[in-house]
Amino acid sequence: MTNELKLDILGTSFTITAEEDEAYLNKVLLQYSAAVKNTQSISGIKDPLNVAVLTGFLLCDEINKIKMQTDSESVEVQERTAKLIAALDNTLKVCIKDE
């Protein structure tokens, strides 16, 4: 099912159609609106196009930082898992040898 969402931001209005549900689309719109307001307040930029471009850049930066953190945590989890498996293997070997 497709849903429509009317965007009215930075002096521009249009409607998008997406497969996601209405609640999700509204959540994304609220997040983007907050990001735009944040960009305006920290940069002092007034031109809507420049604000939109800078906001997009800052959001991509945030996404990449989250991905890098997630990748790093994933490697750490894999290393811990490998250590636990090795410890279990050693324990099982000792138990089997003692039987």
Tell me the per-residue pLDDT of 50-83, one tens digit each, with 9 for 90 and over: 999 999 999 999 999 999 888 878 888 888 898 8
- Per the CB < 8 A criterion, the answer to whether 43 and 54 are in contact is yes
User: Mean of the per-residue pLDDT values for the chain?
Assistant: 91
- 99 assigned to some structural domain: no
Domains contained in the chain, number: 1
Rounded CA-CA distance 22/13 in Å is: 18
- 80 assigned to some structural domain: no
Q: Where are the beta strands (DSSP E) in 1-99?
A: 3-9, 12-18
Residue 28 pLDDT > 70 = yes
- 32 assigned to some structural domain: yes
**Domain that includes residue 7, residue range:** 3-74
- Per the CB < 8 A criterion, the answer to whether 4 and 27 are in contact is no
* Per-residue confidence band for 97, with pLDDT thresholds at 50, 70 and 90: confident
- 52 assigned to some structural domain: yes
- 89 assigned to some structural domain: no
